[in-house]
Structure 1
Amino acid sequence: FLYIKENTKIRPIIFGGGQQKGMRSGTENVPAIAGLGLAAKLIYGGHSEKTEKLYELKKMLIDGLYKIGDDNKCADGSCGVVINGIDGIDIKETAPHVVSASFYGIKSEVLLHALAAKGVYVSSGSACSSNHPELSGTLKAIGVSDELLDSTIRFSFSVETTKEQVEYALEVLKKQLPILKRFIKQ
């Protein structure tokens, strides 16, 4: 879908035929147009309820991560879990569909693969630089320390995510973190 503001000049990228006011050759793709309309209806129908569900899942995950972090602290207290970007902020002022967490001493790529092996799929770093977390201006801007930049993963939710899936992710983390922490230099 492309919305073009009135009086904005653009050039076509598909030429021929002169249909669609010279902007695109060929007949309008009616099935795609209908599909876009249905997709918009589905995603925005019950939007408030869907958003509320996402916040419930987010809170559930955050609470579980804090508990796991408390259970996995090293003697000096440095091996816990940090939830990024929420200090002093009402959870309802954050994006409902994502949680960024850092795990002291565990490389994000290692944790990502350990979770994936158990069917839990996360991303490393921030969405802005998932291939190079050390370069993430976003993580730095929300106060993630240099020490944790390469230890950050991102959990994402959709309206299809269930409480059982969040519980399973927490269960897998609870089992995997002690295994991975064996490799931390203390």
Structure 2
Amino acid sequence: MNEIYLDNAATTRVHPQVAQKMMDTLVNNYGNPSSLHRLGIRSEQAIKEVRGLIAKNLNCQTQEIYFTSGGTEGNNMIIQGVVENKKRERMRIITSAIEHPSVLDVFTFYQNHQIEVVVLGVDAQGHIDLTELQAAMNEDTILVSIMGVNNELGTIQDLKAIGKIVKAVNAKCVFHADFVQGFMKIPIDVQASMLDALTLSGHKIFGPKGVGAVYLKKGTDIKPLLRGGGQENNLRSGTENVPGIVGFGEAVRLRSDSFMDEFEAIRNLRTVFINELETKIEDIKINGDPNGSPYVLNVSFNRVRGEVLLHSLESKGIFVSTGSACSSHKKEKQYVLKAIGLAEEYKEGTIRISFSKDITNDDVKTAVAAIAQAVSSLRLLIKPNKNR
């Protein structure tokens, strides 16, 4: 059975060259980066090279990149770091209703601890209202955290427009974006967007799990989550994950010259997928912005349960998801669909299909045919009995 992996927003298959680079580092470049001898210096140099490569792709300085264990730590590091550093009597922090749980849960925590939290609503495509943002901003606002690319819908927020509003109202307010689903897929310029902080992750771009990075603009003060050895310029203590960082860097290097061409190829693939779905299956809804990230396709089928559809496709070697992998164990799984106002009859039948460079047109045709067959069979099972 051929495998068709369409859950790339959850994680990607590690690129063979990334795995090879990591293995070489594990075996041959095993020194502790904090050690003063040449093995330590060699490891430190390897980290420095990756730091520079990431900085180049963000248009920032090398020393503004800090390595983490991934997106969740990065988001917590920035949000908690800003709030704990600026704690005062009157504080306001702003986010949107469709953020990743590693953002929303931290905001909820602070809301429960007497900090004013504003959660911006979104329209049917998942965009925040810039007028609402401007109205919510004031001199007490210390942080605005808005996801660059939504992990369930693929909706792309206008970070440049958001940055202008934030800084026009309060230049001291920290502007942060979770860009885990956008990095090395969609161009980003942190200076043009007036961003103070950005969260990145390795395993969404064919790199390893357990490694990520944050951009933190020089002069932006945060209180560190972890204290100890003083690594990462005292912001993230603990021995650096050298093989992971090197693997992350190799994944970035492999995409640096190709991701813009890939973007158009994936957009065409997504368009074919949608057209095939709409031709073969009735009563479906495509969610999100048609001009959003082509890597993510969120689709709802009436009279079908998404989880049952997922397992039906899995039995045929086709792998999709019913939403964010990081939300799969939470009670409120469908908060993003609720935020965009999706009708109740479609919520339960929603799946997320996420593409990569490995998906072909033949894969698309095979996957759509399997989805159409599964949806038809599942709808027959719940079809009302007219003889009753």
TM-score by length of 2: 0.39
Q: Deviations over 1:26-59 (max 9, x none)?
A: 5x66554443332212223222211001101110
Matched, 1:13 2:226: yes
Letter in 2 for 1:58: R
Mapping of residues 49-128 of structure 1, within 5 Å: 49-70=261-282, 80-86=283-289, 91=290, 93-125=291-323
Structure 1's unaligned 5+ residue stretches are 71-79
Give the RMSD, CA atoms, in angstroms: 2.9
Q: Please point out which of 363, 366, 379 is paired with 1:165.
A: 363
> Take 2:319 and 2:233, find their aligned partners in 1: how far apart are those partners?
45
Q: Please point out which of 27, 38, 49 is paired with 2:250.
A: 38
Is the helix fraction higher in 1 or 2?
Answer: 1
Cα 1:83–1:11 shift into 2, 3 Å: closer
> Take 1:119 and 1:142, find their aligned partners in 2: how far apart are those partners?
31
> Take 1:25 and 1:140, find their aligned partners in 2: how far apart are those partners?
40
Q: Please point out which of 142, 152, 176 is paired with 2:350.
A: 152
CA contact (8 A) 1:134 1:150 kept: no
> Take 2:263 and 2:272, find their aligned partners in 1: how far apart are those partners?
14
- Report the CA distance between 1:66 and its aligned residue: 0.2
After TM superposition, which residue ranges in structure 1, 4 or more long, deviate above 4 angstroms?
18-23, 28-33, 125-135
Cα 1:102–1:33 shift into 2, 3 Å: closer
1:178 aligned residue: 376
2:95 aligned residue: none
> Take 2:258 and 2:329, find their aligned partners in 1: how far apart are those partners?
35
Q: Deviations over 1:118-174 (max 9, x none)?
A: 111111146784456975232133342011111111111112222221111112122
Which structure ranks higher in relative contact order (CA pairs < 8 Å, sequence separation ≥ 6)?
A: 2
CA contact (8 A) 2:227 2:234 kept: no
Q: Secondary structure at the match of 1:3?
A: strand
Cα 1:60–1:11 shift into 2, 3 Å: same
Identity of aligned residues (%): 35
CA contact (8 A) 1:64 1:170 kept: yes
2:216 aligned residue: 4
Cα 1:19–1:53 shift into 2, 3 Å: closer
> Take 1:20 and 1:85, find their aligned partners in 2: how far apart are those partners?
37
Q: Please point out which of 260, 266, 269 is paired with 1:48.
A: 260
Cα 1:21–1:55 shift into 2, 3 Å: closer
